[in-house]
């Protein structure tokens, strides 16, 4: 990955982390979301705050693993990895619970629920590969995991584009439950395939 891409991903990740922590942990529950979503956030603040806090932790730490200088320091890389995966496990479990109250009906709930399950799966696969000392497989699974972590960013990047295109929130939000993560994962799979065959 080129240096510009690493820094750009880090900047976006830190920006969304800061926004998430302020919007969901500082402001009153539901204050920063669309009015149609406010009731669910006010009724279930615990699972939402837990999901945001752990996910923000993973989103802030994940990009650091793309910097060669940090990755070369094995002990630091290992500890950052453990902390990142704690964020993923906590965020994924709380995210799966939160998916049941997601705005947008069944399409959105299944989309966000699948995101949480696949996110947990890739994290556990990366941990298991590292324990087997299969570091090539570990790297592939860790990259997949971060592509799913980055869904927090892509979700927020698509939203203003849909609004600018004139779509109503209730029409595009269920689509975003899939759009925020499926293209990320497909792109990463394409990159990993090119790396193996190139």
pLDDT digits (tens, 9 = 90+) for 78-102: 999 999 999 999 999 999 999 999 9
Delimit the domains of the chain by residue range.
Answer: 3-197
The pLDDT assigned to 25 comes to 81
CB atoms closer than 10 angstroms to residue 149: 27
The pLDDT assigned to 125 comes to 97
The pLDDT assigned to 48 comes to 87
Q: What is the largest CA-CA distance in the chain?
A: 51
The pLDDT assigned to 91 comes to 97
The pLDDT assigned to 29 comes to 65
3-state DSSP of 107-122: HHHHHHHHHHHHHHHH
The pLDDT assigned to 53 comes to 93
DSSP symbol at 2: -
Residue ranges in the chain whose pLDDT is less than 70: 1, 29-30, 198
Sign of CA pseudo-dihedral 99, 104, 105, 111 = negative
Structure tokens given for 132: 């087997």
Residue 33 CA to residue 35 CA, distance in Å, equals 6
Query: Distances in Å between the alpha carbon of 195 and those of 104, 185, 188?
Result: 37, 15, 10
Query: Structure pTM?
Result: 0.92
The pLDDT assigned to 166 comes to 93
The pLDDT assigned to 198 comes to 64
The pLDDT assigned to 70 comes to 83
Residue 43 CA to residue 35 CA, distance in Å, equals 14
The pLDDT assigned to 72 comes to 83
The pLDDT assigned to 46 comes to 85
């Amino acid at each position: 990955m080129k240096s510009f891409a690493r820094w750009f991903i880090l900047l976006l990740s830190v920006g969304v982390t800061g926004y998430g922590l302020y919007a969901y942990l500082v402001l009153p529950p539901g204050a920063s979301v669309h009015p149609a979503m406010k009731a669910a956030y006010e009724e279930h603040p615990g699972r939402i705050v837990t999901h945001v806090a752990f996910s923000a932790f993973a989103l802030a730490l994940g990009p650091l693993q793309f910097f060669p200088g940090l990755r070369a320091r094995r002990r630091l890389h290992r500890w950052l990895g453990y902390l990142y995966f704690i964020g993923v496990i906590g965020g994924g479990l709380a995210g799966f619970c939160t998916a049941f109250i997601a705005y947008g009906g069944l399409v959105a709930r299944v989309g966000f629920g699948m995101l949480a399950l696949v996110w947990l799966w890739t994290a556990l696969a990366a941990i298991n590969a590292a324990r087997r000392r299969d570091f090539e497989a570990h790297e592939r699974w860790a990259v997949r995991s971060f592509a799913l972590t980055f869904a927090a960013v892509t979700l927020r990047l698509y939203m203003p584009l849909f609004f600018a295109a004139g779509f109503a929130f209730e029409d595009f939000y269920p689509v975003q439950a899939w759009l925020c993560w499926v293209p990320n994962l497909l792109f990463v799979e394409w990159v990993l395939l090119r790396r193996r065959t190139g």
